[in-house]
């Protein structure tokens, strides 16, 4: 039987019950369940604000856009980011007319604060930190660096649902945190995300921007008697980026099981660690930073013969992944090619092994044995 990289797992009957409530009430769009999920997410994370969106990608774009407008940044101003991420991280910067400045990654595959500081100029406005695979990396040093240089901090927490740092969910220190609830993430829905601004005023702005710039959404303009207030103002050229109640219904259910699911992911990681113990010359697991209780969205290893190994694993019906290709290899970011040596090196050596709720100890042992067989 094939072992896949990701397989989403849902509490199907509970999800259907939540969705049924939407259908019976006749409210499937913005509001109702989206409000409930926002409240539940604030309670879970301890963050002061949360707005439910249709993807994390639009959340990152809106994060950059709101900060740029409110702090009067100019086109061509710079945001320091990582080259080892999904392209949506860096596209979000480009969407808003700003320039991505790439800094190298550390042993955790997260931004290296020493390399970040080297890239700061008088045009630097923010740092985009990605918690790759759920890892915190040297996040606390990045926080201090941003304070030292008066830079805004955007936390791309797409992989970090449930990650803790020294016992606390990170993000209160950032100006804005963006989570992903895409289908294969730790808190799976169909596709959605959450944007969490520190400032209440910015939370209010992003709610308008995500609903075409309208200052009152349809849920807020309705009441229990069914009356509908049709009059509103349009304050921004916004987008239709908000989430809906059907998808939020799935999120509400899956949030109840996030801690359980992450605990099992960490158990899978322990089994992988045990299987590779003593074989570090051939297979090196990417470490989790001290003090970080990772969500374990990914289990990544470094090997000497990555591409050859993936082909061999595929022949054994094991289907790993790569997270990610160094973004400076892509045409649109080629201006920074050769500037991040560790990212470039690791981009050609890392493999993400299967990591999902349907894996068993036997599956992990099978994958690990195959990796050790083909590793050089």
What is the reported pLDDT for 228?
60
What is the reported pLDDT for 217?
72
Q: What is the mean pLDDT of each run of 10 residues along the chain (376 residues)?
A: 96 98 96 97 98 98 98 98 98 98 98 98 99 98 98 99 98 98 98 98 97 80 58 93 98 98 98 97 98 98 98 98 98 98 98 98 98 97
Question: How many degrees, rounded to 5, is the angle at CA 267 between CA 351 and CA 287?
Answer: 45
pLDDT in tens, 216-238: 776 665 655 555 667 889 999 99
What is the reported pLDDT for 220?
64
Neighbours of 282 (CB within 10 A): 15
What is the reported pLDDT for 362?
98
Q: Is 218 in a helix, a strand, or coil?
A: coil
Q: What is the share, in percent, of the chain residues with pLDDT greater than 90?
A: 95
In DSSP terms, which residues pair with 350 in a beta bridge? 302
Q: Is 113 in a helix, a strand, or coil?
A: helix
What is the reported pLDDT for 118?
98
Answer whether 3-256 and 258-374 agree in fold.
no
What residue spans of 162-305 are helical by DSSP H?
Answer: 200-209, 245-256, 258-276
d(CA 252, CA 245): 10
- In the chain, where are the structural domains located? 3-256, 258-374
Fold of 3-256: 3.40.640
What is the reported pLDDT for 333?
98
Fold of 258-374: 3.90.1150
What is the reported pLDDT for 223?
56
Per the CB < 8 A criterion, the answer to whether 288 and 294 are in contact is: yes
């Amino acid at each position: 039987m094939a072992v896949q990289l990701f397989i989403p797992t849902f509490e199907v009957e509970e999800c259907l019950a939540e969705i049924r409530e939407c259908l019976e009430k006749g409210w499937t769009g913005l509001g109702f369940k989206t409000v409930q999920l926002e409240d539940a997410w604030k309670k879970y994370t301890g963050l002061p604000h949360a707005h439910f969106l249709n993807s994390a990608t639009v959340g990152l774009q809106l994060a950059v856009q709101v900060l740029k407008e409110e702090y009067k940044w100019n086109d061509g101003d710079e945001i320091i980011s990582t080259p080892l991420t999904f392209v949506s991280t860096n596209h979000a910067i480009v969407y808003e007319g700003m320039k991505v400045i790439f800094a190298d990654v550390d042993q955790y595959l997260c931004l290296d604060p020493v390399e970040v500081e080297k890239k700061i100029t008088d045009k630097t406005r923010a740092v985009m930190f990605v918690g790759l695979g759920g890892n915190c990396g040297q996040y606390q040093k990045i926080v201090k660096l941003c304070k030292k240089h008066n830079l805004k901090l955007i936390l791309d927490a797409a992989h970090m649902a449930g990650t803790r740092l020294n016992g606390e969910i990170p993000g209160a220190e950032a100006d804005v945190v963006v989570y992903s609830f895409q289908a294969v993430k730790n808190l799976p829905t169909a596709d959605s995300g959450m944007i969490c601004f520190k400032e209440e005023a910015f939370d209010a702005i992003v709610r308008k921007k995500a609903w075409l710039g309208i200052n009152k959404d349809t849920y807020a303009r309705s009441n229990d008697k069914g009356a509908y207030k049709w009059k509103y103002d349009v304050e921004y050229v916004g987008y239709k980026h908000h989430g809906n109640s059907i998808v939020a219904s799935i999120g509400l259910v899956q949030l109840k099981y996030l801690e359980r699911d992450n605990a099992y992911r960490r158990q899978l990681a322990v089994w992988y660690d045990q299987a590779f113990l003593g074989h570090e010359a051939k297979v090196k697991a990417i470490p989790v930073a001290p003090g970080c209780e990772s969500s374990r969205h990914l289990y990544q290893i470094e090997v000497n013969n990555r591409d050859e190994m993936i082909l061999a694993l595929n022949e054994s019906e094991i289907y790993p992944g790569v997270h990610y290709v160094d973004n400076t290899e892509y045409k649109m970011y080629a201006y920074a090619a050769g500037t991040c040596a560790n990212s470039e090196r690791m981009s050609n050596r890392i493999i993400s092994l299967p990591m999902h709720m349907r894996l068993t100890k036997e599956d992990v042992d099978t994958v690990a044995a195959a990796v050790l067989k083909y590793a050089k």
